[in-house]
Amino acid sequence: MDLSQKDWTEKLSKDNNSVVLDVRTKEEVNEGIIPNAVHIDIYRGQGFIYEVDELDKTKNYYVYCRSGGRSAQACAVMNKLGFKNTYNLVGGITEWQGEIAFLDQ
Protein backbone atom coordinates (compact mmCIF):
# COMPACT_ATOMS: atom_id res chain seq x y z
CA MET A 1 0.00 0.00 0.00
CA ASP A 2 1.37 3.43 -0.96
CA LEU A 3 1.35 5.95 1.88
CA SER A 4 2.29 9.63 1.96
CA GLN A 5 5.09 10.71 4.28
CA LYS A 6 2.52 11.94 6.81
CA ASP A 7 0.41 8.75 6.76
CA TRP A 8 3.49 6.49 6.76
CA THR A 9 5.05 8.17 9.81
CA GLU A 10 1.73 8.39 11.69
CA LYS A 11 0.98 4.72 11.08
CA LEU A 12 4.54 3.71 11.98
CA SER A 13 4.51 5.73 15.21
CA LYS A 14 1.41 3.82 16.42
CA ASP A 15 2.57 0.38 15.27
CA ASN A 16 4.31 -1.81 17.85
CA ASN A 17 4.67 -4.69 15.36
CA SER A 18 6.66 -2.80 12.76
CA VAL A 19 9.88 -3.16 10.81
CA VAL A 20 11.33 -0.34 8.70
CA LEU A 21 12.98 -1.79 5.58
CA ASP A 22 15.45 0.14 3.42
CA VAL A 23 15.84 -1.42 -0.05
CA ARG A 24 18.48 0.99 -1.41
CA THR A 25 22.08 0.19 -2.36
CA LYS A 26 24.89 0.16 0.22
CA GLU A 27 26.24 3.40 -1.29
CA GLU A 28 22.87 5.11 -0.80
CA VAL A 29 22.57 3.79 2.76
CA ASN A 30 25.98 5.31 3.54
CA GLU A 31 24.40 8.73 2.85
CA GLY A 32 21.94 8.20 5.73
CA ILE A 33 19.20 5.83 6.82
CA ILE A 34 15.94 6.10 8.75
CA PRO A 35 16.87 5.08 12.33
CA ASN A 36 16.57 1.36 13.14
CA ALA A 37 15.85 0.40 9.52
CA VAL A 38 16.83 -3.04 8.26
CA HIS A 39 18.79 -2.84 4.99
CA ILE A 40 18.26 -5.35 2.17
CA ASP A 41 19.31 -4.14 -1.30
CA ILE A 42 16.58 -4.87 -3.88
CA TYR A 43 19.23 -4.86 -6.64
CA ARG A 44 20.56 -8.14 -5.20
CA GLY A 45 17.79 -9.83 -7.21
CA GLN A 46 17.30 -13.41 -6.04
CA GLY A 47 19.44 -12.65 -2.99
CA PHE A 48 16.91 -9.98 -2.01
CA ILE A 49 14.07 -12.50 -2.34
CA TYR A 50 15.92 -15.07 -0.19
CA GLU A 51 16.70 -12.52 2.54
CA VAL A 52 13.21 -11.01 2.60
CA ASP A 53 11.63 -14.47 2.70
CA GLU A 54 13.51 -15.08 6.00
CA LEU A 55 11.78 -12.10 7.66
CA ASP A 56 8.87 -12.51 10.07
CA LYS A 57 5.73 -12.37 7.90
CA THR A 58 3.54 -11.50 10.91
CA LYS A 59 5.13 -8.05 11.20
CA ASN A 60 4.14 -4.86 9.38
CA TYR A 61 6.80 -3.60 6.97
CA TYR A 62 7.40 0.07 6.25
CA VAL A 63 9.48 0.03 3.09
CA TYR A 64 11.42 2.87 1.50
CA CYS A 65 14.06 3.63 -1.11
CA ARG A 66 15.37 6.88 -2.60
CA SER A 67 12.18 8.04 -4.32
CA GLY A 68 9.51 5.33 -3.88
CA GLY A 69 9.90 3.24 -7.05
CA ARG A 70 12.07 0.37 -5.83
CA SER A 71 10.21 0.22 -2.53
CA ALA A 72 6.93 -0.18 -4.42
CA GLN A 73 8.52 -3.12 -6.29
CA ALA A 74 9.78 -4.54 -2.99
CA CYS A 75 6.28 -4.36 -1.49
CA ALA A 76 4.88 -6.22 -4.53
CA VAL A 77 7.53 -8.95 -4.17
CA MET A 78 6.89 -9.22 -0.44
CA ASN A 79 3.13 -9.50 -0.97
CA LYS A 80 3.73 -12.39 -3.39
CA LEU A 81 5.89 -14.06 -0.71
CA GLY A 82 3.00 -13.93 1.77
CA PHE A 83 3.57 -10.67 3.64
CA LYS A 84 0.18 -9.22 4.60
CA ASN A 85 1.11 -5.64 5.50
CA THR A 86 3.67 -3.71 3.46
CA TYR A 87 3.63 0.07 3.29
CA ASN A 88 5.54 1.96 0.60
CA LEU A 89 6.86 5.42 1.47
CA VAL A 90 5.81 7.62 -1.46
CA GLY A 91 8.65 9.99 -2.33
CA GLY A 92 11.18 7.85 -0.47
CA ILE A 93 13.97 9.18 1.69
CA THR A 94 14.38 12.10 -0.74
CA GLU A 95 11.26 13.68 0.76
CA TRP A 96 11.75 12.28 4.29
CA GLN A 97 11.16 14.90 6.99
CA GLY A 98 12.16 12.76 9.97
CA GLU A 99 15.39 11.78 11.65
CA ILE A 100 18.33 10.39 9.68
CA ALA A 101 20.98 8.10 11.12
CA PHE A 102 24.44 7.42 9.72
CA LEU A 103 25.91 3.94 9.93
CA ASP A 104 29.49 3.49 11.08
CA GLN A 105 31.65 2.80 8.08
Query: What are the E-state strand segments in 12-85?
Result: 18-22, 38-39, 60-64
Answer for the pair 87, 59: CB distance below 8 angstroms, yes or no: no
Determine phi and psi for 43, rounding to 5 degrees.
-70, 0
The verdict on whether 75 is a catalytic residue reads: no
User: What is the total residue count of the chain?
Assistant: 105
Q: Which residue is catalytic, options 20, 52, 65, 75? A: 65
Residues with catalytic function: 65
